[in-house]
Amino acid sequence: MQEFTALANRLADEAGKIAQQFYRQPFHVSIKDDDTPVTIADRAIEERMLEILAAERPDDGIYGEEYGAKDGKSGFTWVLDPIDGTKSFVIGRPTFGTLIALCKDGVPILGVIDQPILRERWVGDGQRTAFNGASVGCAPCSDLKTARIGSTTPAMFGDNPVYKKFNEDRFFWGGDCYQYGLMSMGFVDVILEANMQPYDYLALVPVIEGAGGCISDFKGQALTLESAESTVVACGDPSLFEDVKALL
């Protein structure tokens, strides 16, 4: 496991170097079919990570945001989102991140959230979640009325704006993957997101669980490489989960 963690850290280091080069530089933003902005940096980062994995873990599977899936033979799959929060990257806000997950038989066992501009990195690998190498933990929160609730955008909920069932005054928006790191340090209590892909959430699972929180889809089902649901709910204090689920 230590070798996997070291490799994931190296992938994040290399990704960060590229992100730093393109951050706040004028660049062309192309539009994919789903209307998500994709930057040159996004592609360059994934290519670099694929290159490293091809050399070091040729038998592992890959599931990347940009270049799709490659089956493996080892039972391990690397799940990559080179720039999660592309919108924040495009506007020059350092809350985007590189997400790296390692799944064993589809279950995430290692997750990295890396913010390369602020040089902030969260790693969950079955041990206590670490923020820049130091152990961190979620905060207790027994009352949904006082919870700090995060999400990226109301638009992600589409036709099912469940966030309206919560006290909107408790929400902060624009959270990106960064908010899951903040949850692992005790600063965010509940996160609700929708329209998410496996590369958006698999890296978050070991980070949140290793900090004492819980994370699942809205039905309470575990998030795996085979998840059919695109919803994510995380609670820093797992005792809040039933109250949250009751509103979803």
Q: What is the binding site for a copy of itself (CB under 8 A)?
A: 24, 26, 35, 87-88, 90-95, 118, 148, 150, 152-155, 168-169, 171-175, 178-179, 182, 185-188
To a copy of itself, the closest distance from the beta carbon of 28 in angstroms equals 12
Tell me whether residue 175 or residue 198 sits nearer to a copy of itself (CB atom). Answer: 175
Closest CA to 105 of 224, 228, 230, 227: 224
Check residue 223 and report its DSSP letter: P
CA distance 88 to 210: 26
Q: SS in 3 state form for 99-139? A: EEEEEECCEEEEEEEEECCCCEEEEECCCCCEECCEECCCC
Residue 41 token pair: 């940096």
Cα–Cα distance list, 3 to 90, 101, 127 (Å): 33, 14, 14
Q: Coil, strand or helix: which one is 15?
A: helix
| Nearer of residues 130 and 188 to a copy of itself, judged by Cβ | 188
In the chain, DSSP finds a helix count (H) and a strand count (E) of: 7, 15
The amino acid at residue 195 is N
For a copy of itself, the closer CB: 23 or 218: 23
CA distance 65 to 80: 6
Return the number of the residue (70 or 87) whose C-beta is nearest a copy of itself. Answer: 87
Report strand pairing: 190-193 vs 232-235: antiparallel
Comparing CB distances to a copy of itself, the nearer of 126 and 140 is 140
Instruction: Give the nearer residue to a copy of itself in terms of CB position, either 101 or 130.
Output: 130
